[in-house]
Structure 1
């Protein structure tokens, strides 16, 4: 007897196909979900890495700020800085900018002769870029309260394997006051070199500048997509185009959407420390180099005005000049950065870091203390590149308080190293 051969019926095939389709659909959805989660986590990791990179880089420079530099020009504050508008740089809603200075540990040269437009040193210098800040120090330091024994000057032309350094002769009143330009009036003291014989046998050291700010750039091939970067400007003509401007800045970290800086000042006794940049704005008198003019001077000699931070002790209750409103009294810089993802996620609304502080409404003076005095109300349209809310972007916020201990310098000094670089 022949065995019967029975195949699949149409219904069985349909049911099997349906079950298989459901299984494949489930596998596909699981794969898509896992892929999306991986992308989300990868994006989160990337923005956290960018934030840490930005904070670490700034922290390293801020901690060394003030070494060998007069305290009144160690830190310059620029609140709400619009790097793309040099005519009106301070605009609400934009990130802050901060500039710090410190002495180079590896450079020193002896001076043969000095004048307001030229320095001649004893040994050739391999390289100095245009815009480099130099500190000229007299050897007979003497009494700092009676005579000027040091001067900050700026190099006007690139130096390569030469003993001659040409100085920028820009009048201090005409020097720029911006993080994206050449060093300002505080570093144009070249006039002090004329008629003072001590500078003919002096010593020069380099002063390094680091200006941090945030700027947005168009993505190549995508004119409607702009990516923010944390930038650093050293005040040097790095591209050697004859001008010192935004094109000489270098990117530090991608996706840094906001930089907010608060300045915690010293206080006397049990007085609550003042925090500029939160409860009080750093615009007006505190903006940039204007802050330096707030230091109370002390009359010494017939024609000299010596800042009191050279002669007074920090926290001296009888002579509290160092407790006045000046950058000399900065106890800490509180740095807050917001990092966002490189590309928006069309299925994500976008993280919102402008949540209202408890008891406050969005748009009040302090929307959220973690973002200091940043507000998104009443700002220019182009400030939207730096508004940390919506847009489909993932975001992370990172904060650190940094103490620039070198800011307590109370006298200039000549390095004890025997040779310079």
Structure 2
């Protein structure tokens, strides 16, 4: 029997096959890695654009909503606050806080959704609500109130001297202070029922940029005390510029009145929109309720003549120089801020009309008892 020689079987790959396989695998891996890196960068870039865009949208939406209420239910002469004693740098215009530049916007309005009846004791320090009615909402110490006599013959501005629970039927008060009178009208102490005073909430809000945990935030401070107080709500983060300009009341073409910003050229009736402009000045002549519409007092730089706001806000991203090349940044109004060179920058401006600042107009929004056309503002403040 003849034995066949053993067959020769190929074992493994040749060097050429291995080299070609490695080369193909490397190309595929490089392609996948490159695509992953590019996708990650694109996602990071999109995130760095989307976050400041979201912050701007939220911030501008809040600004437009709350500033439109400025002057609601209060005398236009005290609707805006331009005192600087408690402000950093004692300035309302272009305060430089290191990583940010900020204007200061402070205003008052009456809460259109809160109305109670009550009376004060003889000292004016204790408010008791009528018919054992409760506040209905917890109010913190320092919350401002306006108490209005029946028939609106007089009023008194005060603050809570202690926290008040939602179930409270009384509250302790102290006088609000400047710019309101500290005298307590006697008509607020006259009794209950039809003689009871109207009790309304007064909101005083300050908007400015503050560092929170090292990050500049646009915040809404509740109360006109020290801006470092703890009663605030963050509105938008990474804000490096907040600018406010004031659109003043303009005369009709038939009246010859000088613009309050005439010193910076011919004047455009907008204060705070360039470096040489003054801000509204509460010490100049102010209009009253019965001041004629053609009077020069209605065209001065007094805050009572503010008719609109021009607001701009600049926000930067957290990182990503790729997105920085597609930034939108401009020095709005009289800003001294600069763009972040290694960040995505986005600046948005808006204009807000203030319908409650004309002293002869009715409060907006008009609230009334259903079916009673002449009973406006019986609901809410």
Q: Which of these two proteins has the greater Rg computed from alpha carbons?
A: 2
2:113 to 106, 109, 112: 106
Equivalence for 1:210: 205
Change (3 A) 1:320 1:420: closer
Pairing 1:338–2:311 present: no
Cα offset for 1:418? Answer: 5.8
Q: Distance in 2 between matches of 1:77 and 1:351?
A: 37
Question: Match of 2:223, SS?
Answer: coil
Q: Distance in 2 between matches of 1:82 and 1:8?
A: 83
Pairing 1:154–2:165 present: no
Equivalence for 1:404: 354
2:60 to 52, 55, 61: 55
1:325 to 274, 295, 301: 301
What are structure 1's unaligned runs of at least 5 residues? 143-148, 173-184, 219-225, 238-242, 297-307, 356-367, 377-386
Equivalence for 1:221: none
Q: Distance in 2 between matches of 1:256 and 1:23?
A: 44
Pairing 1:200–2:189 present: yes
**1:129-177: per-residue Cα shift (whole Å, max 9, x none)?**
21111112121445xxxxxx1232222222234343322247x4xxxxx
C-alpha contact 1:78 1:282 (8 A) present in aligned 2:
no
Cα offset for 1:51? Answer: 0.4
Equivalence for 1:233: 221
Q: Distance in 1 between matches of 2:91 and 2:207?
A: 18
Change (3 A) 1:255 1:131: same
Pairing 1:373–2:363 present: no
C-alpha contact 1:340 1:396 (8 A) present in aligned 2:
yes
C-alpha contact 1:71 1:409 (8 A) present in aligned 2:
yes
More displaced 10-residue stretch of structure 1: 248-257 or 267-276 = 267-276
Pairing 1:121–2:129 present: yes
Q: Distance in 2 between matches of 1:133 and 1:322?
A: 28
Pairing 1:138–2:149 present: yes
**TM-score after normalising by structure 1:** 0.69
C-alpha contact 1:108 1:204 (8 A) present in aligned 2:
yes
Give the paired residue count. 339
Question: Match of 1:26, SS?
Answer: helix
Question: Match of 1:21, SS?
Answer: helix
Cα offset for 1:116? Answer: 4.4
C-alpha contact 1:255 1:340 (8 A) present in aligned 2:
yes
1:251 to 234, 244, 247: 234
Change (3 A) 1:411 1:41: closer
Q: Distance in 2 between matches of 1:409 and 1:278?
A: 25
Cα offset for 1:320? Answer: 2.6
C-alpha contact 2:92 2:104 (8 A) present in aligned 1:
no
What are structure 2's unaligned runs of at least 5 residues? 191-196, 254-258, 260-266, 369-374
Q: Distance in 1 between matches of 2:323 and 2:236?
A: 24
**1:52-97: per-residue Cα shift (whole Å, max 9, x none)?**
0011111111112221111122233589x997x4777766432112
Change (3 A) 1:405 1:33: same
Equivalence for 2:245: 262
**1:26-63: per-residue Cα shift (whole Å, max 9, x none)?**
22112101110111112211211110001111111111
Q: Distance in 2 between matches of 1:311 and 1:53?
A: 39
Q: Distance in 2 between matches of 1:86 and 1:279?
A: 20
Equivalence for 2:263: none
Equivalence for 2:77: 72
Change (3 A) 1:89 1:236: closer
Change (3 A) 1:91 1:335: closer
Q: Distance in 2 between matches of 1:374 and 1:213?
A: 14
C-alpha contact 1:309 1:410 (8 A) present in aligned 2:
no
1:293 to 283, 298, 313: 283
